[in-house]
Structure 1
Amino acid sequence: MTAQGGLRYVYAVCRPFAAALQTQLSGVAGVPPGLLRHHGLVAVVSTVPEGDFAEEPLRDHLEDLDWLAATARAHQGVIDALTTVTTPLPLRLATVFRDDSGVRTMMEAREADFLHTLDRLEGRVEWGVKLYADPPEQPPPPAGRPATGREYLRQRRTDTRAHEENRRAAEEFARTLHERLSGRAEACRLHPPQNATLSGVPGQNLLNAAYLVSRADSEEFVELVDRTKDEAPAMRVELTGPWAAYSFTEPVTEPTTEPTTEPVTGPPAPVRAGEQR
């Protein structure tokens, strides 16, 4: 497979697999993905226009949020399809090479790392769990002003104490939930809490974690998460997945400025559709 009039976009590396990908699957730039075999590995690739993915136009496109979102969705669609038939090792969004030779050179150089990571992730998927504390309901304002300054200070102390107790209870629930889920997972990663202003999701994000779980144990893991959803008032548990194990994959390519036999890499592996880190 050779890039005719375009660059080689690489979605993921995996071991050879027999199952067919979805017949209607299209990737980045609307091009269906193909397979490029090298020794005991397979790169999942498609051809993308150089006018969009060479260094300079790619840099401009990465400032275009609509273009970036569409590319990330197409990239993720291929990764999701791969996850149903094999264990993929996703590469960064917008990893491109000049031609197939460049892809093979990369696979050759990182073959031992790829095989080691694929062995570690084989038969496992990632589940994401977020815990939010919903904003407390505001009590109705008092009928009149406090009779004295002392009464005002007493009311303030009462409100502050209640707020602190609620905060401690929420943090304890988050800690306990993480411990319980970690006990059912093979590995876990804690991501920084989301900023509600940036994410647009209401409530305080107390837990933003990823859990590596075997496919065989995933049903039990999901049931455990479901059982926690009504355990604490004013708490909201959100489960996403199963995903390819993004959070448990070390970076496999380094940024460079020349799209020859080296990759041109954009941002880290994309945020999955419907998710924000």
Structure 2
Amino acid sequence: MNDLVTYAYAVARADDMLHVRAAVLKGVADSPVHLVPGSHDDTLVLVVSHVPAQDFQEDALKLHLEDLDWLEAVARAHHGVIEAMAVHTTVLPLRLATVYLDDTRARDVLDARRALFAERLAHLAEHVEWGVKIHVEPSSAPAAPAPQRGEALSPGRAYLRDRRQQQSVRDSVYQDARQAAETIEALGRRYAVERARHRVQQGVLAGPVGENVVNDAYLVPREHCEKFRSEVLHAADGLRGVRIEVTGPWAPYSFAMPSVVADDAAAGTEP
């Protein structure tokens, strides 16, 4: 087995500036980035670099994916290459840890999928991805009213009353979150051309405060980006306990058909 394998970041349309930009980039494992053109048509290229084979063999990769420091370093490098290329041109991002035995095998995949890659790049041209998350924070909602003067309740009844009031506040916050979600969905229909629903984030990924209840991505034409972002951020105005987070603009990760390469390269070195 070779000491190095080919790590693929994205598909893009070739031009002279793309080669210049790739020549100054470092990717995963601090490896220099280069472009792999097709065999018979160099209008499309794969953005790749060479990485140590031992880190991306199936068994080794499974262990690495449990190492958060290693995973973060690879993800940052992967994302950095894609975003640097996306500044110049439309890119079709590939999944994290998409690797091939060598550049020849990567070229074979590019040749086999050329029509599909070209169609998707044309669809994504002049569009970017925005991430939209909705968080609920019941603790920041209005407190329940204090008991009336002279009102005397047993400890048990007081506990039940407080629990009902807390539940009422929570129900109100979640209802407001649904309202914000409906407003954002309407804005998506107005400004975006595609929407992707992702699993809500939990634990450390969800952040220190609140609960993530919506985690969506929208594919938005560049000309509508400012309006989309501004109006989404105002979708929770007047709603207590609801927080909206907007991230982007990103290369269109959620709309790049990651399953395109699933038959040709799994995460890890090809057999």
Is TM (by shorter chain) over 0.5? yes
Equivalence for 1:253: 261
After TM superposition, list the pairs within 5 Å mapping 1:1-277 onto structure 2: 5-19=3-17, 20-21=20-21, 24-38=24-38, 39=41, 40-137=43-140, 146-147=153-154, 157-196=164-203, 199-228=206-235, 230-250=237-257, 251-254=259-262, 263-265=265-267
- Of Structure 1 and Structure 2, the greater helix share is in 2
Q: Deviations over 1:82-126 (max 9, x none)?
A: 110111111111111122210111111111211111111111110
Q: SS at 1:34's partner residue?
A: strand
User: Do 1:125 and 1:244's aligned partners in 2 also have CA atoms closer than 8 Å?
Assistant: yes
Cα distance in structure 2, aligned partners of 1:76 and 1:155: 48
Q: TM-score, normalised by structure 1?
A: 0.81
Does 69-78 or 187-196 show the bigger shift?
187-196
> What residue ranges of structure 2 are gaps of 5+ in the alignment?
none
Query: CA 1:26 to 1:211, structure 2 compared with 1: closer, same or farther past 3 Å?
Result: same
Report how far residue 15 of structure 1 moved: 1.1
Identity of aligned residues (%): 41
User: Do 2:130 and 2:218's aligned partners in 1 also have CA atoms closer than 8 Å?
Assistant: yes
Which amino acid in 2 is paired with 1:112?
Answer: A
Does 93-102 or 145-154 show the bigger shift?
145-154
Q: SS at 1:193's partner residue?
A: coil
> What residue ranges of structure 1 are gaps of 5+ in the alignment?
256-261, 267-277
Query: CA 1:139 to 1:74, structure 2 compared with 1: closer, same or farther past 3 Å?
Result: same
Cα distance in structure 1, aligned partners of 2:204 and 2:158: 35
Q: SS at 2:218's partner residue?
A: strand
Cα distance in structure 1, aligned partners of 2:92 and 2:81: 12
User: Do 1:14 and 1:43's aligned partners in 2 also have CA atoms closer than 8 Å?
Assistant: yes
Q: Deviations over 1:157-188 (max 9, x none)?
A: 45544442332222222222222233211111
Q: SS at 1:91's partner residue?
A: strand
Query: CA 1:146 to 1:152, structure 2 compared with 1: closer, same or farther past 3 Å?
Result: farther
Cα distance in structure 2, aligned partners of 1:214 and 1:69: 30
Which amino acid in 1 is paired with 2:135?
Answer: Y
User: Do 2:65 and 2:71's aligned partners in 1 also have CA atoms closer than 8 Å?
Assistant: yes
Which amino acid in 1 is paired with 2:6?
Answer: R
Query: CA 1:102 to 1:136, structure 2 compared with 1: closer, same or farther past 3 Å?
Result: same
User: Do 1:129 and 1:207's aligned partners in 2 also have CA atoms closer than 8 Å?
Assistant: yes
Cα distance in structure 1, aligned partners of 2:67 and 2:161: 53
Runs of 4+ in 1 over 6 A off after TM superposition: 140-145, 148-152
Which amino acid in 2 is paired with 1:179?
Answer: A
Does 79-88 or 176-185 show the bigger shift?
176-185
Query: CA 1:230 to 1:102, structure 2 compared with 1: closer, same or farther past 3 Å?
Result: same
Which amino acid in 2 is paired with 1:27?
Answer: G
Which amino acid in 2 is paired with 1:105?
Answer: D
Query: CA 1:200 to 1:162, structure 2 compared with 1: closer, same or farther past 3 Å?
Result: closer
User: Do 1:17 and 1:86's aligned partners in 2 also have CA atoms closer than 8 Å?
Assistant: no
Cα distance in structure 2, aligned partners of 1:134 and 1:14: 41
Report how far residue 209 of structure 1 moved: 1.0
Cα distance in structure 2, aligned partners of 1:105 and 1:174: 43
Q: Deviations over 1:231-261 (max 9, x none)?
A: 4232211111111111112222226xxxxxx
Report how far residue 192 of structure 1 moved: 2.4
Cα distance in structure 1, aligned partners of 2:123 and 2:169: 46
Instruction: Give the aligned CA root-mean-square deviation in angstroms.
Output: 2.8
User: Do 2:3 and 2:54's aligned partners in 1 also have CA atoms closer than 8 Å?
Assistant: no
Cα distance in structure 1, aligned partners of 2:58 and 2:155: 69
Query: CA 1:53 to 1:155, structure 2 compared with 1: closer, same or farther past 3 Å?
Result: closer
